[in-house]
Amino acid sequence: MFDSAPFTDPVLFAIAVLALLGTPGPTNTLLATSGALVGTRRSLPLIGAEIAGYLLAILAIHALVAPLVAAYPPLGQALRIAAGLYLVSVAVALWRRPILGDGGERSIGMGRVFVTTLLNPKAAIFALAILPMSAPGAGLYLLGFAGLVAVAATSWILVGAGIGRLTAGGTPRGVTRASAIVLTCFAGLIAVG
């Protein structure tokens, strides 16, 4: 029922995945924030958390959530509200985040990236509209997806690191507070979506 994804062509599949991963979102905001605060090298381990979060979410949405939401539509709204509330809690934590100074800024944690990605609405789009989960070779599409996530995540970290270099004379608090505002906006969009 949900496997009518038109993206069985590998090139179209890659374009669709990269287009969606290239758009700003909650996970990308955290990756860029980490890049700005602690640099590229210290942020790279977050990529594994993002891949794990997306894969777990995609498999769960495909196998469990989609059939439940189809049978009980209010569940979809409840899930959106829960994801929005989680993002607000992340935004509050970023807003209140202590700044250590002298290059000792705390990095964004892997757990935070994992859970944020797990709740990211993009996972539902991947699971229901892009990944051909019932097509022959679905595992290869998932493997390709993981590689594309790594490419996009690296790009967001590099963007953040560039912002960090540009604002080196500025305050890390400005970066975390700007990220908190962006996450709050995403929370609102998701909850009312």
pLDDT recorded at residue 105: 55
Read off the pLDDT of residues 2-13 as tens digits, 9 standing for 90 and up: 444 457 888 989
pTM confidence score: 0.78
Confidence of residue 169 (pLDDT cuts 50, 70, 90): low
pLDDT exceeds cutoff 50 at 72: yes
Rounded-to-integer distance, Cα 21 and Cα 146, Å:
11
